[in-house]
Amino acid sequence: MKPFRSSSSSLLSPMAAAVTVVAVSIILSATAVPPVAAATVEHTFVVSQVNMTHMCNEIPVTVVNGQLPGPTIEVTEGDTVIVHVVNKSPYNLTIHWHGVYQMRNCWNDGVPMVTQRPIRPNGNFTYQFDVAGQEGTLWWHAHDAFLRGAIYGALIIRPRNGAASYPFPKPHKEIPILIGEWWEKDLAAVDRNFSRGLYDEFSSGSTINGKLGDLFNCSGVFEDGYVLDVEPGKTYLLRIINAALFSEYFIKIAGHKFTVVAADANYVTPYTTDVIVIAPGETMDALVVADAAPGRYYIAAQPIQAPPPDTQTPEFATRGTLQYTGGVTNSSRADVVAPEMPHEHDTIKSFYFHGNLTGLRHRQRAGAGARRRASLRHARAGLHMPARPQVVQERDEPKSNQVIANMNNVSFHDATATPILEAHYYRRGGNGVMRLEPTSRATVVRRFRHGDVVDIVFQSTAMLQGDSNPMHLHGHDMFVLAQGIGNYDAATDEAKFNLVNPARKNTVLVPNLGWAAIRFVADNPGAWFIHCHFEFHLAMGMAAVFVVEDGSTPNTSLPPPPPGFMEGSP
Ligand SMILES: *[C@@H]1O[C@H](CO)[C@@H](O)[C@H](O)[C@H]1NC(C)=O
Ligand SMILES: *[C@@H]1O[C@H](CO)[C@@H](O)[C@H](O)[C@H]1NC(C)=O
Ligand SMILES: *[C@@H]1O[C@H](CO)[C@@H](O)[C@H](O)[C@H]1NC(C)=O
Ligand SMILES: *[C@@H]1O[C@H](CO)[C@@H](O)[C@H](O)[C@H]1NC(C)=O
Ligand SMILES: *[C@@H]1O[C@H](CO)[C@@H](O)[C@H](O)[C@H]1NC(C)=O
Ligand SMILES: *[C@@H]1O[C@H](CO)[C@@H](O)[C@H](O)[C@H]1NC(C)=O
Ligand SMILES: *[C@@H]1O[C@H](CO)[C@@H](O)[C@H](O)[C@H]1NC(C)=O
Ligand SMILES: *[C@@H]1O[C@H](CO)[C@@H](O)[C@H](O)[C@H]1NC(C)=O
Ligand SMILES: CC(=O)N[C@H]1CO[C@H](CO)[C@@H](O)[C@@H]1O
């Protein structure tokens, strides 16, 4: 994924989406969680600039609690999380809890000017949310400008009944692996440049758990790399998170295989592979058995980019080491076994990898939502979001089997005065759509009735830019019904929908020059951001807001904002 520099291309990675609402009300049955007293997990996140030195350069980096990555939040399903964010940085920011459902708790979703005003410099804000009905690996990150490039960390949800209830053998250890980038730039300035169409901004390296590794050096002295110590014969659960702003990555460990068991905090049918492909915003949980000859093996992460004619941009691989305890005495790099990496242009590998992920049926709680037969009618309609759009179209309120939203050619623009959620909450009964300015950029808001089953086809069109697009929906998981290369054709492609065991994701990768069809149940009242998780595409406006209206009962409605909402950052 790369910013494009070529002045000849007028559009970048255009997307098309068709939104069809099928008016089938589905009440998801409440999950049978044992009535165990839940704990409260409390953290204080102080956001500040600290100097860090890599590759001979000392630079200020905006991080949480002086760490990169930031603190890992570890919870048991059903726990309450409280995080006090104290902003000692010079920037406005919010923290988003990526993938947490936030059921009836949209106020704590952490999207500036969508769910809250940003936390100002010297301001503070306390997030509170329950982590219920989901387990696995999620993460948190800043949701303002490009600051999430260094403000991120893991959020790990363990089963209430303990590791014995994993649908796979209990691992010896669980290890977060966060893939990131090293930027020697003021990320807020990078964001401003992208918003103004200045795309010549690149990171200087990639990282594993904040470490650059031995492909980078300062005057010949190698950068520290991440080291994973393993005991022969033991099994490790890697909780892999792509926190990078710009790239999908191939991940390999020389001499070892992965068994992918979960993605985006949803269990998947175990899938054994020697390479994991992960896009920004996605998480993959994978088992690795230490069954190779004792020694040292590189854990390598290689960025992927679309082949020419796409503009080629600097990409940086990074690597850490898996080393067997005992018997390893030779510290020479030459003895570390390196994996053979796929070619950076091998985008079809990403397509196949994602195509091989299916939901683990007996653990798929709301799978019924995807299996429910519904009459679908897709409209082919462009969602050319990052382009400078020409047309703003509007349609009627939702009706059965009718196309209700046409996001063609509208580039998202932040609300400027009032956060969208606040406007929605205090001005119910409005005309259903935020005012759309008759300009090229607008605040695109689509409304759904509570319980609507929504099908969307994301279509990347064959323009100059062939980027993939990891589309992330807040507040809901999406069932991935099908994906394809080329243009979606309802007449033939609908038959390919997996209504039996689709993977459930909060971030769905739309393949390069292809499409992905998803379904979600709009069962969480609030204003939810949907956007591409390539920061560069987001800065260009590849985003919209889905407003899910209240249901008919208090427990299907959005409560008022929590007491003291935004008092620490007026
Ligand atoms: C941090 O780095 C900047 C240069 O980027 C330097 O001017 C400043 O003195 C450093 N601060 C500290 C506390 O070392
Ligand atoms: C921070 O946000 C406030 C609105 O909440 C805005 O007035 C101010 O200009 C913003 N500051 C920066 C540096 O963006
Ligand atoms: C942003 O654009 C300006 C003007 O072209 C340039 O001077 C600057 O280096 C760019 N990048 C950053 C991070 O400020
Ligand atoms: C250590 O590595 C060096 C360089 O690869 C090699 O020459 C040497 O034989 C190795 N020593 C052992 C004990 O394996
Ligand atoms: C699964 O992966 C294999 C090997 O890469 C590939 O041939 C196959 O088409 C993939 N399946 C799907 C459904 O994408
Ligand atoms: C979106 O813009 C493109 C490029 O100008 C145009 O060809 C297309 O018809 C537009 N789509 C819609 C639905 O307005
Ligand atoms: C909401 O409350 C009603 C009773 O008022 C109950 O029957 C229903 O199961 C609840 N629904 C959910 C989703 O909790
Ligand atoms: C948060 O902000 C409020 C209001 O400005 C202030 O009273 C309080 O001391 C702040 N808390 C922290 C931890 O900074
Ligand atoms: C930042 C830095 O010192 N990089 C060096 C890494 O090593 C190569 C050659 O080994 C040098 O060319 C780089 O300047």
Q: What is the pLDDT of residue 456?
A: 85
Residue nearest to atom 5 of ligand 1 (CA): 59
Residue ranges of alpha helices (H) inside 164-221 are: 187-195
Q: What is the pLDDT of residue 459?
A: 81
* Residue range 253-279: mean pLDDT, rounded: 98
Cβ contact 386:467 at 8 Å: no
Please state the atom number of ligand 2 nearest to the C-alpha of residue 90: 13
Q: Within the chain, which residue ranges are assigned CATH 2.60.40.420?
A: 39-159, 168-359, 376-556
Which tops the pLDDT comparison, 453 or 265? 265
Q: Name all residues whose Cβ lies below 6 A of ligand 8.
A: 86, 124, 568
Out of 59, 194, 201, 535, mutate this one to test ligand 3's pocket (max ligand atoms within 8 Å of CB): namely: 201
Q: What is the pLDDT of residue 18?
A: 36
Reply yes or no on whether the pLDDT at 86 is more than 80.
yes
Q: What is the pLDDT of residue 26?
A: 24
Residue nearest to atom 4 of ligand 8 (CA): 568
Q: What is the pLDDT of residue 442?
A: 61
Out of 198, 535, 536, mutate this one to test ligand 3's pocket (max ligand atoms within 8 Å of CB): namely: 198
Q: Which numbered ligand comes closest to the C-alpha of 87? A: 8
The Cα–Cα gap between 350 and 480 comes to: 15
Cβ contact 516:492 at 8 Å: no
Residue 355 three-state SS: helix
Instruction: Say how many Å lie between the CA of residue 53 and the centre of ligand 1.
Output: 10
Instruction: Say how many Å lie between the CA of residue 449 and the centre of ligand 6.
Output: 28
Cβ contact 516:448 at 8 Å: no
3-state secondary structure string, 452-468?
EEEEEEEEECCCCCCCC
Q: What is the pLDDT of residue 334?
A: 77
Reply yes or no on whether the pLDDT at 340 is more than 70.
yes
Q: What is the pLDDT of residue 411?
A: 61
Q: Which numbered ligand comes closest to the C-alpha of 461? A: 6
Cβ contact 116:143 at 8 Å: no
Q: What is the pLDDT of residue 412?
A: 67
Residue 423 three-state SS: helix
Q: What is the pLDDT of residue 116?
A: 96
- Which CATH code is given to the segment(s) 39-159? 2.60.40.420
CA 171 to chain centre: 25
The Cα–Cα gap between 235 and 170 comes to: 8
Ligand 1 within 6 A of CB of 59: yes
Please state the atom number of ligand 2 nearest to the C-alpha of residue 569: 5
Q: What is the pLDDT of residue 82?
A: 98
- Exposed/middle/buried for residue 394 (C-beta within 10 Å: 0-12, 13-18, 19+): exposed
- The matching CATH number, chosen from 1.10.10.60, 3.60.15.10, 2.60.40.420, 3.40.50.300, for 376-556 is 2.60.40.420
What pLDDT, in 10s, does the model give residues 354-405? 999 999 976 544 444 444 444 333 333 333 332 222 222 222 223 222 222 2
Q: What is the pLDDT of residue 441?
A: 53
- Helix/strand number for the chain, H first, E second: 6, 35
Place 196 in a pLDDT band, splitting at 50, 70 and 90.
confident
Ligand 1 within 6 A of CB of 60: yes
Place 81 in a pLDDT band, splitting at 50, 70 and 90.
very high
Q: What is the pLDDT of residue 527?
A: 95
Ligand 5 within 6 A of CB of 356: yes
The Cα–Cα gap between 358 and 353 comes to: 11
Q: Name all residues whose Cβ lies below 6 A of ligand 7.
A: 30, 553, 555
Task: Return all residues near 441 (Cβ < 8 A) that are at least 6 apart.
Answer: 389, 410, 411, 412, 413, 541
- CA-only gyration radius of the chain, Å: 22
Nearest Cα to Cα of residue 11 among 515, 542, 482: 542
* Residue range 484-513: mean pLDDT, rounded: 91
Out of 52, 55, 58, mutate this one to test ligand 1's pocket (max ligand atoms within 8 Å of CB): namely: 58
Half-sphere exposure of 222 (CA within 13 A, CB side): 12
Pairing of strands 40-54, 80-87: parallel
* Residue range 53-73: mean pLDDT, rounded: 98
**Percentage of the chain surpassing pLDDT 90?**
61
Reply yes or no on whether the pLDDT at 557 is more than 70.
yes
Ligand 4 within 6 A of CB of 332: yes
Domain 168-359 has CATH 3.10.20.30: no
Q: What is the pLDDT of residue 528?
A: 96
Instruction: Say how many Å lie between the CA of residue 200 and the centre of ligand 3.
Output: 8
Q: Name all residues whose Cβ lies below 6 A of ligand 2.
A: 92, 117-118, 120
Q: What is the pLDDT of residue 268?
A: 97
Q: Name all residues whose Cβ lies below 6 A of ligand 6.
A: 381-382, 384, 390-391, 408-409
The overall average pLDDT reported for the chain is 82
Place 39 in a pLDDT band, splitting at 50, 70 and 90.
very high
Reply yes or no on whether the pLDDT at 570 is more than 60.
yes
Q: Which residue is associated with the tokens 């929590």? A: 562
Which neighbouring-strand residues pair with 240?
Answer: 177, 284
Reply yes or no on whether the pLDDT at 439 is more than 70.
no
Please state the atom number of ligand 4 nearest to the C-alpha of residue 334: 5
3-state secondary structure string, 246-294?
CCCEEEEECCCCEEEEEECCEEEEEEEECCEEECCCCEEEEEEECCCCC
Ligand 1 within 6 A of CB of 58: yes
Both tokens of 565, joined, read 């909402």
Out of 82, 124, 126, mutate this one to test ligand 8's pocket (max ligand atoms within 8 Å of CB): namely: 124
What pLDDT, in 10s, does the model give residues 103-130? 999 999 999 999 999 999 999 999 999 9
The Cα–Cα gap between 109 and 103 comes to: 10
Which tops the pLDDT comparison, 144 or 202? 202
**Percentage of the chain surpassing pLDDT 70?**
79
Residue nearest to atom 6 of ligand 7 (CA): 555
The Cα–Cα gap between 274 and 499 comes to: 28
Instruction: Say how many Å lie between the CA of residue 204 and the centre of ligand 1.
Output: 19
What pLDDT, in 10s, does the model give residues 530-551? 988 988 777 766 778 889 999 9
Residue nearest to atom 8 of ligand 8 (CA): 568
